[in-house]
Amino acid sequence: MKKVYILLAVLFSTVASFAQTFDIQILDNNGVDVTNGFYSVPSVPTAQGSLVDLKFKIKNNGSQAAEVMIRRENVQMPAGFNNTICIDGFCYPAVQDSPNGIVNIASGATDSTFYGTFNNLQGTSGDLCVTYIIYNAQNSAEFVTVRAYYGACLTASVAENTAESVMLSAFPNPANGMVNIKYNIQGEGQLMVTDITGKTVKTVRLNAGSQTLALDITDLRPGVYVYSVQVAGKRIISKKLAVR
């Protein structure tokens, strides 16, 4: 009988470990939560050789240690600028958008080594935008983002997408096991699934265009959820999904 109890304990422990979610929070340098949102860059100096440092903190709210990696997308910057991305003491040039370094963050801990730098090499001026993606090193489908911006470049990609143009739908609905999410977006975005308490239970990257995403929902308990499409950190449309 003891062997049975031990076996069950190991089994439940294993299942629990697989059930852990990627619970990462992004904070700006002042401790403000900017997870899946925006960060307004205060200023972009025009003097030649001046630097813009975008510093963020990565907090692991999960019950286990998290291995994270960072990449950037949708970089827009004035002519004559270059940029790097740094974490854990290593910096990567603009041509390398997927750093190889993995940062291990203990449960409840905060990593403060992440920042992006823009160097004004020619003394020019203009709008600046970049999306930073912090993702699970073991499963790149689990991620959070922050969109840093200065000037008007933020609004352009958002304005191209409306609740009507996205044409979001899910079938079958109610669903069990798998559900197909149909959408149409300009530029890349993300699908967010939240439970009735507002907690995010799934985050999936969406490719641009008219697409159908096959979403695995076998890990979701029966109930009502909300699925939303975000572009450049802005929620465009939300709908309800019933899971049986």
Q: Say yes or no to pLDDT of 93 above 60.
A: yes
Highest mean pLDDT among 19-33, 123-137, 168-182, 184-198: 168-182
Percent of the chain at pLDDT > 70 equals 85
What's the mean per-residue pLDDT of the chain?
83
Give per-residue pLDDT as tens, 161-218: 888 888 899 999 999 999 999 999 887 788 999 998 888 899 888 888 889 999 999 9
Using pLDDT thresholds of 50, 70 and 90, give the confidence band for residue 96: low
Give per-residue pLDDT as tens, 2-13: 444 443 343 334
The structure's pTM equals 0.66
C-alpha closest to that of 120 among 184, 46, 182, 177: 46
Q: Compute how many other C-beta atoms are within 10 angstroms of the C-beta atom of residue 45.
A: 13
What is d(CA 148, CA 85) in angstroms, rounded to the nearest whole number? Answer: 13
What is d(CA 189, CA 233) in angstroms, rounded to the nearest whole number? Answer: 8
Domains of the chain, CATH where assigned: 22-156 (2.60.40.1090), 160-243 (2.60.40.1930)
C-alpha closest to that of 199 among 32, 28, 61: 61
Q: Say yes or no to pLDDT of 20 above 80.
A: no
For position 158, what pLDDT does the model report? 64
